[in-house]
Amino acid sequence: MKGLKWSLATFATTALLLAGCSEDATQPPKGELLTTNNKDKGVLGDYCWEVEGKENCEKGDDIVESLEKAEAIPATMGTALTLSINSDDRPTSGELEWISEEGTKGKEKLKGSLLFAPQEKGVYYYTYTAKWDGSGKNGYKGEAEYYYKLRVQ
């Protein structure tokens, strides 16, 4: 009897752990920015996500308001950074916009997930817009914005 209880407890614990690791298809997957020394989660901004044929759209706060009190991610000028999406389905396209504390703006299309920190010191607010067309393993379809605050030293 003890063996049966132990087996059931082990099975239940394993099932809970695996359920916690599965992806939640009702929202976009989580995003991260990887630097040489850090792995920082992005703040989810605006998104429109299709779930079972129905579109679920949420409007997030402005990027500066969302990240105003957040600790900036440290990076050295010109170092490589990687945008990472925690999902088996990778975005089919992505675009990056940024604004510095001084108000300088920039925009670029991404071919993959690699970018480089600016060559000037300061604080930068990044918006990574990722799009999925439904062709991936999980069939994700939609668009999501991920916000990051970077301090270039």
CATH number, domain with residue 99: 2.60.40
Domain count for the chain, please give it. Answer: 1
pLDDT at 67: 95
pLDDT at 111: 80
Instruction: Please indicate, yes or no, if residue 79 is contained in any of the structural domains.
Output: yes
Pure H helices in the chain? 2-21, 63-67
**In terms of residue numbers, what domain contains 144?**
24-152
What pTM, to 2 d.p., does this model score? Answer: 0.81
- d(CA 78, CA 88) in angstroms, rounded, equals 29
pLDDT at 109: 84
Positions in the chain whose pLDDT score sits under 70 = 1-24
Instruction: Please indicate, yes or no, if residue 127 is contained in any of the structural domains.
Output: yes
Residue 71 has which token pair? 């600790």
Instruction: Please indicate, yes or no, if residue 18 is contained in any of the structural domains.
Output: no
pLDDT at 122: 97
Backbone angles phi, psi at 66, to 5 degrees: -65, -35
Backbone angles phi, psi at 129, to 5 degrees: -100, 115
Q: What is the DSSP letter of 28?
A: P
pLDDT at 18: 35
Instruction: Please indicate, yes or no, if residue 85 is contained in any of the structural domains.
Output: yes
